């Protein structure tokens, strides 16, 4: 690592000697230590963004004030980097002592000079493109970690890779899961006092969730915590979770272990250095349907819960289950943050989360006791959370039957992985809220078939009879009409909305709060904007040609404050965005005050939507294609073939001609569309193609052009 200005060297010299332990890195590169992480706002650290949520409390709040509610109008683009992909970029960059570390699609990491974007090194872990098939929302990751001279990648294929932060050279690699099962990793690793902690994804495909801690210096496994029980006939796992699994077992029924059970912790992990606890946010069940997973009985611990474990040993401390009896793909892997809040005259150490189910939860983080819960969007799942038992009081009839019904929120969520921030100054939490609804039904008894490496929901996507099919369509139109998205400022003490900024659709990005009374967010309207943190008034905005879904960061080098964000659409699926939604290639964007002369290339021009080809298949084939599409493709391409990573209603004639080669031979694997040749035969792929042509014909009109 070379620093050209003496100012930076002086800053580093200041930061290092008094704090160094024996194992600390001799250079300034990624010099992240326990001492620094415990004092994130100290002079030497305030200009950094050293971990995913900036500080251990993951508040995504920066004390920097050069860019503030009075100066933000002078914000301009300082530099940008084209990330050479149209895939979604969900990652939060890290900035340590002048160097910005970023990770793009397929876990390719680049280190930049944070001032001007000069590239210092790039490391490509060469993830096999086939792994993209397990990532619903693009072959992305939400971040990397930095510690003691190293950068850590948790790759899509399960490798945990430590790099030398000075030059990007690989130091060691461990494989964190058995590749025989359909696991993947999209979450950001966290490092807590020398331990790299990471979970994984895959509940939708049928795996058993776990989180593990690895020694940050050597990659040695330290502990492993399963989130759901395995087959009782196999006995205990011999892992830190054994006691917790014995307690969870009575809440499961049937033969869930055959389908993995789920509970994957695919995003949020938070560490409390004072209590020495790691909080794990767990996901949905596998299969999604409670009926097929657990015979429609039992809470199914620890699905959709926050589980607190001892950071040293991984031993269970407490849990709070937000969604017992999960039937709706409600995950509780959404961002969690720690804060000290004054509630009823008493300062409480809390952990906060706004998971998919649309409720905002405040818990005592020492004990897991529920302090309050209120819905932050309209929802049709539970009338309230019973404060005595901590359990949701479900509306009657919310469990899935074979008859289609609307559920709000949908599996696409009231709030997904998109980072939320908290300003201790305003006392408000800022999150991208979504009102999305879905039509659910489960398959009839005897129809659910577990297929490894495919979505295993147990959901019906078609309607068992023509009448039910028609009902689905009618309900879907109702659900679409209710769709909304907005930036929400939420008061976690009063449990009520402070203000909101409405957008045309759901799907906007994560937020950043600063001491300059600002909140930054990228919107579905393809702008990057700054709002007054106290009032929500819009103070600055720039069109960026893409949706910055990831978490923005801010940092300071040589006395200049910067704001950086990755702008790369997808990573959140919006069903109803309209046809031909256009974006520029994904880019890392960096702003500072008074920056001039750097402009982004224009959006690609709109094009007329291609007329769909003539449908040559029978109604039966189309129906078969619809169910296969639902099971195999809808996770990425949207329910009813709308929206998603690429809208398959609007394929060009050339793509139609190549359809079978794309789907069965993987000729677009480099772009993130891997082969399904192991799951589908030619006839099934053709049935899906017929279904897509039929959907395109339903929705196509002569006037339709891109917007
Ligand atoms: C894990 C996510 C994922 C799944 C599941 C998935 N796809 Fe894709 N698919 C993608 C991505 C990403 C692209 C975009 C590639 C690009 O930009 O060219 C894509 C592109 C395509 C394209 C090219 C579209 C065009 O207009 O260029 C076709 C055709 C396609 N997918 C068909 C399917 C079918 C059929 C299925 C189900 C059998 C399926 N996909 C399942 C991720 C997925």
Ligand 1: residue whose CA is nearest its atom 16: 671
Give the atom of ligand 1 at the shortest distance from the alpha carbon of 692. 35
The pLDDT value given to residue 606? 83
Split at pLDDT 50, 70, 90, the class of 22 is very low
Query: Taking all residues of the chain, what is their mean pLDDT, rounded to a whole number?
Result: 92
Does the pLDDT value for residue 56 go beyond 60? yes
Q: Is the CB of 106 under 6 A from ligand 1?
A: no
Question: Is the shortest distance between the CB of 417 and ligand 1 below 6 Å?
Answer: no
Does residue 341 have a pLDDT over 70? yes
| Low-confidence winner among 24-28, 84-88, 381-385, 509-513 (lowest mean pLDDT) | 24-28
CA 634 to ligand 1 centroid distance, Å: 10
Mean of pLDDT values over 672-683: 94
For atom 26 of ligand 1, the residue with the nearest CA is: 651
Confidence of residue 28 (pLDDT cuts 50, 70, 90): low
% pLDDT > 90, the chain = 84
Contact between residue 223 and residue 243 where contact means Cβ atoms under 8 Å apart: no
195-204, 217-226, 431-440, 564-573: least confidently modelled range: 564-573
Q: Which atom of ligand 1 is nearest to the CA of 688?
A: 35
Dihedral angle computed from the Cα positions of residues 37, 43, 44 and 49, in that order, rounded to the nearest 10 degrees: 50
- Vertex 57, ends 51 and 61: CA angle to 5°? 75
pLDDT in tens, 499-512: 999 999 999 999 99
Please work out whether the CB of residue 659 comes within 6 Å of at least one atom of ligand 1: yes
Percent of the chain with pLDDT over 70: 94
Q: Is 139 in the pocket of ligand 1 (CB under 6 A)?
A: no
C-beta of 135 in contact with ligand 1 (< 6 A): yes
Say how many Å lie between the CA of residue 646 and the centre of ligand 1: 7
Q: Tell me which residue has its CA closest to atom 25 in ligand 1.
A: 651
Does the pLDDT at position 313 exceed 50?
yes
In tens, the pLDDT along 559-575 reads: 999 999 999 987 566 77
Q: Which residue minimizes the CA distance to atom 20 of ligand 1?
A: 673
Ligand 1 atom nearest to 652, measured from its CA: 26
| Cα–Cα distance, 53 to 420 (Å, whole number) | 9
Predicted confidence at residue 578, as pLDDT, reads 67
pLDDT of residue 573: 67
Residue listed under structure tokens 């031909």: 580
Pocket perturbation via mutation, ligand 1, pick of 139, 612, 637, 650 by most ligand atoms within 8 A of CB: 637
Query: Does residue 1 register a pLDDT over 80?
Result: no
Alpha carbon separation from 664 to 213, 638, 642, 655, 667 (Å, rounded): 38, 20, 21, 13, 8
Higher pLDDT, 462 or 260: 260
pLDDT for 8: 41
pLDDT value for 571:
59
Does the pLDDT value for residue 27 go beyond 70? no
For the Cβ of 658 lying below 6 angstroms from any atom of ligand 1, the answer is: no
pLDDT at 11 > cutoff 90: no
Q: Closest ligand 1 atom, CA of 139? A: 12
Q: What is the pLDDT of residues 261-291, one digit of tens each?
A: 999 999 999 999 999 999 999 999 999 999 9
Paired tokens of 115: 């001032």
Q: pLDDT digits over 609-627, tens only?
A: 888 999 999 999 999 999 9
| In contact, 146 and 168? CB cutoff 8 Å | no
Q: Is the CB–ligand 1 distance for residue 198 below 6 Å?
A: no
673 CA distance to ligand 1 middle (Å): 5
Nearest alpha carbon, ligand 1 atom 23? 655
Are 323 and 392 in contact by the 8 Å Cβ rule? The answer is yes
User: Is the shortest distance between the CB of 205 and ligand 1 below 6 Å?
Assistant: no
CA dist 131 and 120 (Å) reads 28
Q: Quick check: CB of 630 below 6 Å from ligand 1?
A: no
Least confident of 6-15, 455-464, 597-606: 6-15
**Pocket flag, ligand 1, residue 662 (CB < 6 Å):** yes
User: In the structure, what pLDDT confidence band is assigned to residue 414 with cuts at 50, 70 and 90?
Assistant: very high
């Amino acid at each position: 690592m070379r620093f050209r200005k003496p100012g930076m060297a002086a800053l580093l010299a200041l930061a290092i000697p008094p704090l160094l332990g024996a194992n600390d890195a001799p250079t300034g590169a990624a010099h992240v230590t326990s001492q620094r992480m415990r004092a994130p706002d100290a002079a030497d650290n305030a200009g950094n963004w050293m971990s995913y949520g900036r500080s251990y409390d993951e508040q995504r709040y920066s004390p920097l004030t050069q860019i503030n509610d009075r100066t933000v109008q002078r914000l301009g683009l300082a530099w940008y980097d084209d990330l050479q992909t149209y895939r979604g970029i969900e990652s939060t960059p890290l900035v340590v002592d002048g160097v910005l570390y970023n990770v793009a699609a397929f876990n390719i990491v680049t280190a930049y000079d944070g001032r001007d974007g000069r590239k210092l090194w790039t490391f490509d872990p060469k993830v096999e493109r086939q792994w993209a098939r397990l990532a619903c929302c693009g072959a992305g990751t939400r971040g990397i970690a930095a510690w003691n001279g190293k950068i850590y990648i948790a790759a899509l294929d399960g490798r945990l890779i430590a790099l030398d932060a000075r030059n990007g050279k690989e130091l060691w690699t461990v494989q964190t899961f058995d590749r025989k099962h359909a696991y993947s990793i999209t979450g950001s690793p966290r490092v807590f006092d020398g331990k790299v902690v990471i979970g994984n994804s895959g509940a939708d495909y049928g795996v058993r969730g776990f989180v593990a801690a690895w020694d940050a210096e050597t990659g040695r496994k330290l502990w492993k915590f399963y989130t759901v029980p395995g087959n009782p006939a196999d006995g205990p796992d011999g892992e830190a979770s054994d006691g917790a699994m014995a307690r969870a077992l009575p809440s499961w029924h049937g033969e869930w272990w055959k389908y993995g059970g789920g509970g994957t912790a695919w995003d949020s992990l938070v560490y409390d250095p004072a209590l020495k606890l790691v909080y794990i946010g767990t996901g949905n069940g596998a299969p999604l349907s409670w009926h097929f997973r657990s015979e429609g009985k039992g809470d199914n611990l620890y699905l959709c819960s926050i589980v607190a474990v001892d950071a040293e040993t991984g031993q269970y401390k407490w849990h709070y289950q937000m969604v017992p009896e999960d039937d709706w793909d409600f995950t509780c892997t959404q961002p969690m943050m720690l804060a000290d809040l004054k509630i009823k005259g008493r300062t409480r150490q809390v952990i906060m989360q706004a998971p998919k189910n649309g409720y905002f939860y405040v818990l005592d983080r020492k004990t897991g006791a529920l302090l309050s819960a209120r819905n932050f969007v309209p929802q049709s799942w539970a009338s309230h959370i019973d404060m005595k038992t901590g359990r949701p009081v479900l509306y009657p009839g919310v469990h899935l039957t074979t008859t289609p019904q609307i559920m709000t929120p949908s599996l696409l969520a009231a709030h997904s992985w998109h980072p939320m921030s908290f300003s201790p100054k305003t006392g408000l939490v800022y999150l991208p809220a979504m009102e999305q609804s879905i039509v659910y039904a489960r398959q009839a008894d005897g129809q659910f078939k577990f297929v490894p490496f495919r979505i295993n929901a147990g959901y019906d996507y078609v309607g068992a009879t023509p009448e039910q099919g028609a009902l689905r369509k009618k309900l879907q139109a109702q659900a679409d009409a209710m769709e909304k998205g907005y930036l929400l400022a939420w008061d976690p003490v009063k449990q009520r909305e402070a203000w909101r900024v409405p957008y045309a659709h759901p799907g906007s990005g994560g937020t950043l709060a600063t001491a300059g009374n600002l909140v930054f967010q990228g919107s579905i309207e393809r702008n990057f904007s700054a709002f007054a943190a106290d009032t929500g008034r819009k103070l600055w905005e720039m069109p960026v040609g893409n949706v910055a879904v990831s978490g923005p960061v801010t940092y300071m080098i040589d006395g200049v404050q910067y704001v950086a964000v990755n702008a790369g659409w997808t990573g959140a699926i919006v069903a109803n965005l309209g046809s031909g939604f256009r974006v520029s290639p994904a880019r890392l964007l960096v702003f500072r005050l008074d920056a001039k002369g750097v402009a982004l290339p224009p959006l690609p021009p709109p094009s007329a939507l291609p007329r769909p080809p003539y449908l040559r298949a029978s109604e039966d084939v189309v129906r078969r294609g619809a169910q296969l599409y639902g099971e195999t493709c809808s996770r990425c391409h949207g329910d009813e073939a709308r929206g998603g990573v690429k809208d398959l209603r609007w394929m060009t004639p050339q793509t139609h001609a190549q359809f079978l080669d794309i789907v069965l031979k993987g000729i677009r694997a480099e772009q993130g569309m891997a082969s399904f040749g192991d799951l589908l035969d030619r006839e099934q792929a053709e049935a899906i193609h017929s279904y897509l042509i039929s959907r395109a014909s339903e929705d196509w009109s002569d006037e339709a052009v891109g917007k």
